[in-house]
Amino acid sequence: MDNFKNTDFNALARSQTSIQMKMRLLALAHFQDGKSRTQIAQFLKVSRTSVNKWVHVYLTEGLAGLQEKPRTGRPTFISTKQRAQLADYIEKRASSAQGGRLTGAHIHTYLVQYVQADRHAVVIMDGAGWHTDGIADEFNNVSLIKLPPYSPELNSIE
């Protein structure tokens, strides 16, 4: 606890580049100043649960426990080389004379044209009138499966 009292969390927060780490350190600075966890949460506009977790992690693991942990999740579907090509495209497009505004549609078009993804999608549809057979004709990597007319065990809405 002596280390907690002697640590300058505000200075540490100023030296951080990660916004998440800055928030954690600012929460600890307020906690060090005697503010309640509820006050800290309201001031920083975060949940009290987050403040509780940050204080607990610091008190049990120190500053190392506050560092960002590797996240799990779906791996990216483009390679490192393709990601560099996409970044180059975005950079060139942003600094071109024609304009710098990029939308998701521009990036999607680029990905469709230049990134070959070996993926196949299966779409399960019910018998709604707007779910026509030709809905996926323009995609060669999509398969459609139509549900039987009455199948409550297969359709969660029913």
The string of pLDDT tens digits covering residues 65-95 is 888 888 777 777 677 887 888 888 888 877 7
Q: Which helix (H) or strand (E) holds 152?
A: none
Given its phi and psi angles, is residue 37 left (phi above 0), alpha (psi -120 to 50 degrees) or beta?
Answer: alpha
Which whole number is the average pLDDT over 87-114?
77
User: Within 10 Å of residue 50's Cβ, how many Cβ atoms?
Assistant: 16
Q: Does residue 125 sit in the same domain as residue 136? A: yes
- Rounded to whole angstroms, the Cα distance separating 142 from 120 reads 6
Q: Does residue 48 sit in the same domain as residue 102? A: no
Q: How many domains does the chain have?
A: 3
Q: Does residue 124 sit in the same domain as residue 144? A: yes
Q: Is there a domain that residue 74 lies in?
A: no
- Rounded to whole angstroms, the Cα distance separating 109 from 81 reads 18
Q: Does residue 38 sit in the same domain as residue 10? A: yes
Q: Does residue 104 sit in the same domain as residue 58? A: no
- Provide, rounded to the nearest whole percent, the portion of the chain with pLDDT above 70: 86
Q: Is there a domain that residue 102 lies in?
A: yes
- Rounded to whole angstroms, the Cα distance separating 139 from 117 reads 13
Q: Please check whether residue 108 is in contact with residue 78, taking contact to mean a CB–CB distance below 8 angstroms.
A: no
Which whole number is the average pLDDT over 35-42?
94
Q: Is the pLDDT of residue 118 over 70?
A: no
pTM of the model: 0.47
